[in-house]
Chains A and B, each alone.
Chain A
Amino acid sequence: MTEQATNTPIAKPKAPPSIVASTGFLGLNRKDATLLALVVVLTMLAPFILNPFPEGSGMAQFNAGYPDLMQRFVIFGIFAIGFNILFGLTGYLSFGHAAFLGVGSYAAIWMMKLVTLNIIPAIILSIIFAGLFALLVGFICLRRSGIYFSILTLAFAQMSYALAYSVLTPITGGETGLQIKATDRPILSGLEPGEIGRANFFGIDMRTSYELSLGDWLFTFNAGYYIAAVVMLLSFYLSIRIFRSPFGMMLRAVKSNQQRMSYTGLNSKPYTLAAFVISGMYAGLAGGLMVAMDTQVGPERMFWTASGEVVLMAILGGVGTLIGPVLGAGMIKYMENIISKINETILHQWFAFLPDGLEDFVVSMIYPFIGKGWHLTLGIVFMLVVIFLPGGLVEGGQKIAGLFRRKAKTDDTPSKTPAE
């Protein structure tokens, strides 16, 4: 462990799962197949799960089951899954992954403006462009490791942002970005004169929604969300396969001991570069999907805060775990969209039962953490997780599960020896 020491993530090392576990369904072992099945069920039922409160009730603003936010959950989930392939396995912390997201977005919107409004070619093009860009950036940045690698990727991302913001205005639309306009006539779309193009999946408009009203509850099933969710599930499946493959093992070896790796006859450079390109392609896929859901793109998508956000997602959820980054992405996007919507009036409503002076005091204490202050809440949550749950939300889940298991064991088998 020489220069790799700086790459060590915050998470504690855990014993990796056995590689010889039998493989069954879709080439996954039983534990992974169960996890995948669970994620399938959760994403498919998300419109119900995320809308637990009836419309019009005081708690309704905590509902997250509207299409726009659900789409963001799964798209940022893809982004974080890809980031985790690089950071979680090889330990190389990229601080410029938003650049690939942006490149994917620009590629997708040009495909839609010029060729077809079907989202599939646009998404494929976004993956290809992001992959090529990642190959170039990775080839240069991977000459260094540790903090120098992180700074190099950050520099690249900021250069990309600056290019998109000003120099490349003819291609990127500069500060205002790009949208699909009435003047855009994609050659394969057959639009009426003056009609504004809409992104579609073989004729299905992304914004098509079916609303189901059950009593006071309203559930929305959106075409765009389900397409993005299926893509997310495929990405998740692919990432499980990569994690459990010999290639995944080599990437963990890169993180563990590069010196031993080279004295074992392995060249760590192409392994790391391959991981970098794969994770860049995941970011491009996420960027393409963003454009598919909402046909516009601006340079702020490549800003360094966007790169930092995906790092937070991975660490918050659990670096190097399969499901962690998706959880982290969900948590951050939930806070960004829900906590930021709470305002002072709502706080006063909540605490109306308190005596006047006390109500004002409580509201003034909470006020900095809501609305635009949601970053403050995020920061506190992040600190608490890093200090008390270095393995992220996944470790929290495991601890809770462990508590129950231990309790169940001691309750069930009082005659035998208690659990260790």
Chain B
Amino acid sequence: MGILEVKGVNKRFGGLQALGDVNLSVQENTVHAIIGPNGAGKSTLLNCLVGKLIPDTGSVMFDGQSVLGRKPHQINQMGISRVFQTPEIFSDLTVLENIMIPCFAKRDGAFRMHALESFAHEKELLEKAEAMLADVNMLDKRHMHSASMSRGDKRRLEMAMCLVQEPKLLLLDEPTAGMARADTNNTIDLLKEIKEKRDITMCIIEHDMHVVFSLAERITVLAQGRPLVEDVPENIKGNPKVQEAYLGEAAA
């Protein structure tokens, strides 16, 4: 029994079957990659996991509880954090504030009226936030306006924001999309480092095979909304079905 169990999920947009009978099982403390050509339904599947979309049929269980019908903030409070394709950060705020917000969310829940409280009494959270920033080598930038950072730094900040919540499952939606090779390699190193330092389950949606084969311990291949195979990376590489799904698209 994995930490995330997706069973028989279907999602239809009008005449388009975006997801057809998808089954997925992500084991605890592994890196699981979901790959597939364009339009395979990877992002739709991810959106079903975080509460942005509700599947037409099927079940999504996380840690023994169903996530269906819950709002994104409730699902996050269950222990699922998400990294977006383009970094989603609070760009009007400083780097430290960006990290403080998930710290508060983790401790105080979805809402708390702390209008007359002061940051001076939040030493513990401040220390936690600064330790996290030190972890991703951004401590010297903590008072920087986060909008003025480079894209690579924004990506690191977003990951730090997710990690400071100590999620049980980290979902990554094409974390290296649009990045130069050097930045991609930095991101791979960052993710490897994260994996080494803590017990965390990661589920990565990715286009870039280099990233997938550097990180993943298990891979699910989606094609046209249906799971094609699920296996360890070595077997995926040589699988003729996978090659056909990718090359078929390239040849067309």
Residues of A near any B CB (own CB < 8 A)? 1, 13, 15-16, 18-20, 22-23, 27, 241-242, 244-250, 252-253, 255-257, 259-267, 270-271, 274, 278
Contacts and interface: CB of A to CB of B under 8 A. Distances in A.
Given A257-B89, A257-B91, A267 B110 contact: yes
A280 to B, nearest CB: 15
A245 B50 CA distance: 30
B67 to A, nearest CB: 13
B102 A247 contact: no
A342 B126 CA distance: 57
A410 B105 CA distance: 47
Contacts of B8: none
Contact of A247 (B84, B96, B113, B126): B113
B220 interface: no
A249 B161 contact: no
A247 B119 CA distance: 10
A260 B96 CA distance: 16
Given A249-B93, A253-B90, A20 B119 contact: yes
Contacts, number: 131
Contacts of B97: 16, 19, 249, 252
Contacts of A23: 118-120
Nearest to A21: B119
Given A244-B118, A246-B104, A247-B113, A264 B76 contact: yes
B82 interface: yes
B119 A241 contact: no
B73 A266 contact: yes
Contact of A245 (B71, B81, B105, B116): B116
30 contacts: A16-B92, A16-B97, A19-B119, A23-B119, A27-B120, A241-B118, A245-B115, A245-B118, A246-B122, A247-B112, A247-B115, A247-B117, A249-B93, A249-B100, A252-B97, A257-B88, A257-B91, A260-B88, A261-B73, A262-B73, A263-B73, A264-B76, A265-B76, A265-B77, A266-B105, A266-B110, A267-B111, A270-B110, A270-B111, A271-B111
B179 to A, nearest CB: 20
Given A249-B101, A257-B91, A264 B165 contact: yes
Contacts of B116: 241-242, 245
Contacts of B152: none
A261 B82 CA distance: 11
Contacts of A247: 112-115, 117
Contacts of A16: 92-94, 97, 145
Contacts of B119: 19-20, 23, 244-246
B72 interface: yes
Given A246-B122, A252-B90, A257-B89, A19 B113 contact: no
